[in-house]
Homo-oligomer: A and B are copies of this chain.
Amino acid sequence: MIEQKEFLKDYDDSKYKKPSTTVDMIILTAVDVEIKARSVPDKVLRVLLIKRKGDPLVVDVTDPYKAKWALPGGFVNYFEDLDKAAIRELEEETNVSDVYMEQLYTWGKVYRDLRRRVISTSYMALVDSSKLNVKAGDDAEDACWFDVKATLLEEIKTQTQTGYIRKRTYELSLVNGEHEIKDTVIVTKVMEGRNSKIGLEYLDNPSGLAFDHATVIFYALERLKNKVEYTDIAFSLMPELFTLTELKKLYEVITGKAIYSRNFRDKMEKQKKMVIETDEWESGKPYKPARLFRFNPDWVED
């Protein structure tokens, strides 16, 4: 290991003005919500947000996102690995460690934060809600879990000379008992000859999230949706033991599609062998008791 004082010996590291480097955390969990009495509850995804300080009635042109909800995050220290900064932020907010975490994307538009030039790397963490304390973090900040959902509102496809332009408009909705945040995220795909480009924007609206955090959360939900199909990522959001219907409900909320339970069972147990049965049974429900399963740690992706 190199001594810190040797580092930088021959270089003047402060000649040029540098962007700041931060990490943003998309901390997700899944919880049950009752939709109908005497029925299995649905799952819903929740994301942890922090209330930024400031007066919501005063508009500050140098910081228009004061008093808005934002993703937790912070600066990367000079002698701290990028991953370590993300782990530190996660622990500060949730007091949990050893959960699934993955780097998502690095956001680097010049004016994404009007106070200073910030380049921010986003990380997604998936937490089993049964392992969480009621309080999210113990600092003075106003941290809350929001039910999160992205809905496709509109899709427009325009033919061009050598391809097409496809514009999808989504509504990102964030709800928590008292607060309701709605943001619009637009995904543009430009196909030109053999090269396609994907763009992600958000529409700035007064009641929305701070910064570009609507797009960042949307991006995380998309990544989760894709990865749930071919990895074991979903099990990070489940308790140790679960019924196959509970697991199905989680897959449904992540993918946004209804799943046929007959085939889901066979796929998980017989075909992909992602779960193994236990001798434990669910009880106390007004229907036939269900067997509890656990994740098969020997499962390997193909």
Q: Which residues of A contact B (CB under 8 A)?
A: 1-2, 6-11, 13-14, 16-21, 61-63, 75-76, 78-83, 85, 98-100, 103, 105-111, 114-117, 119, 121, 128, 162-164, 191-196, 232, 235-236, 238, 240, 295, 297-298
Closest-by-CB residue of B relative to A294 is B194
Compute how far the CA of A192 lies from the CA of B11 in the bound complex, rounded to whole angstroms. 42
| Bound: A232/B189 CA distance, A | 13
Contact, CB under 8 Å: B117 / A163: no
Specify which chain B residues have a CB less than 8 angstroms from the CB of A100 in the assembled complex. 195-196
- Would you call the interface of chain A mostly helix, strand, loop, or mixed? loop
For this complex, 10 residue pairs linking A to B, each with C-beta atoms less than 8 Å apart, are A6-B62, A7-B116, A8-B116, A14-B14, A18-B18, A80-B110, A82-B119, A98-B195, A119-B121, A194-B236
Are B297 and A162 touching (Cβ within 8 A)? yes
Instruction: Please indicate the chain B residues that have their CB under 8 angstroms from the CB of A192 in the complex.
Output: 98
Q: For A119, give the chain B residue with the smallest CB separation.
A: B21
| Most chain B beta-carbon neighbours within 10 Å: one of A106, A194, A240, A295 | A194
Q: Determine whether the beta carbon of A106 is less than 8 Å from that of B103.
A: yes
Chain B's nearest CB lies how many Å from the CB of A103? Answer: 7
Query: Which chain B residues border A16 with CB–CB below 8 Å?
Result: 75, 78
A297 & B116 in contact (Cβ 8 Å cutoff): no
Question: In the assembled complex, which residues on chain B have CB atoms less than 8 Å from the CB atom of A98?
Answer: 192, 195
